[in-house]
A = this chain, B = another copy of it.
Amino acid sequence: MADNDTSKLSAALEDYLEAILNLSAERGVARSRGIADTLGVARSSVTRALRSLADRGLVNYEPYGIVTLTDDGLRIAETVARRHEIIQSFFVNVLGVEKDIAQKGACEAAHALGPAIIDRLMGFIEFVNDSHKNGDDLVGRFRQFCKNRPAAKDKTPSKATRRKATKTLAHAKPGQKVRLTSINAGQKLRSRLAALGLVPNVEITVVSTGRPGPFMINVKGSKIALGKPMVDKIIVE
């Protein structure tokens, strides 16, 4: 009988429920083979998932039988399917994303976004539709807006890039002067380097960056050759 459904379901198991719901609607019945095909997994994986779902009281299942959702299972399946639909609708109908891509992204995102966000998102879609009825073609304006500006690239630097990233000696160019911040290594290596003058706050002048040849630096008048692994461990500013 229906077991406890304390812990939240994994994305994978939610997908099984969603697949069962869809198959039931489309073909009238959900069988193991159909689920495997829908999700692109091996038939044996389905068997195991069904046992797991049955243990949680979410499907009626027994070996060689067809699969139906219990009331609990139906509730979850509908919630997931609905989230998927809403997110996908936003991607396609508002953002104008290509259907296949939207489908894939929405199916995954559906497991990550809870009621608070989904409700708002649905409200927003309604708002957009409502605006349209009132003569304001928001989506059309957005499309137009997109045309009039150089398509932003996913790689465009943003706040993230503006944050200073830790620089190692490897990032320095020949001729550049840098100050040693710290050495990313154990004390034995650190003391070995200290003997060469490589201590915190010392000024380093990069002589050559070692392609080809060794990475050469100048520290207080003496030239030092460093190996690549070493170069990555020396933090500078």
- The docked-state distance in angstroms from the alpha carbon of A160 to that of B126 is 18
- The docked-state distance in angstroms from the alpha carbon of A228 to that of B70 is 13
- The docked-state distance in angstroms from the alpha carbon of A155 to that of B122 is 12
A184 interface residue, CB < 8 Å from B? Answer: yes
Q: Min CB distance, A199 to chain B, in Å?
A: 17
Please tell me the number of chain A residues within 8 Å of chain B, measured between CB atoms. Answer: 86
- The docked-state distance in angstroms from the alpha carbon of A168 to that of B102 is 34
Residues of B within 8 A of A101 (CB): 114, 116-117
A157 interface residue, CB < 8 Å from B? Answer: yes
A205 interface residue, CB < 8 Å from B? Answer: no
Residues of B within 8 A of A12 (CB): none
Residue-wise interface mask of A (178-192) relative to B, using a CB-CB cutoff of 8 A (1 in contact, 0 not): 000010111000000
Point out the residue from B65, B66, B97, B160 that lies within 8 Å of A21, measured CB to CB.
B160
Point out the residue from B111, B124, B235 that lies within 8 Å of A142, measured CB to CB.
B124
- The docked-state distance in angstroms from the alpha carbon of A21 to that of B165 is 7
Q: Given A127-B141, A182-B66, are A109 and B113 also a contact pair (CB < 8 Å)? A: yes
Residues of chain A from 70 to 94 with CB closer than 8 A to chain B in the complex? 70, 74-75, 77-79, 81-83, 85-86, 91, 94
Residue-wise interface mask of A (95-127) relative to B, using a CB-CB cutoff of 8 A (1 in contact, 0 not): 111100110010011011111111111111011
The answer to whether A233 touches B119, judged by C-beta atoms less than 8 angstroms apart, is: no
Q: Given A96-B120, A158-B82, A186-B64, are A69 and B105 also a contact pair (CB < 8 Å)? A: no
The answer to whether B60 touches A165, judged by C-beta atoms less than 8 angstroms apart, is: no
Listed in ascending order, the chain A residues whose CB lies under 8 Å from chain B are: 1, 21, 24-25, 28-30, 60, 62-70, 74-75, 77-79, 81-83, 85-86, 91, 94-98, 101-102, 105, 108-109, 111-124, 126-127, 130-131, 138, 141-142, 145-146, 149, 151-161, 163-166, 168, 182, 184-186, 228, 232-233, 235
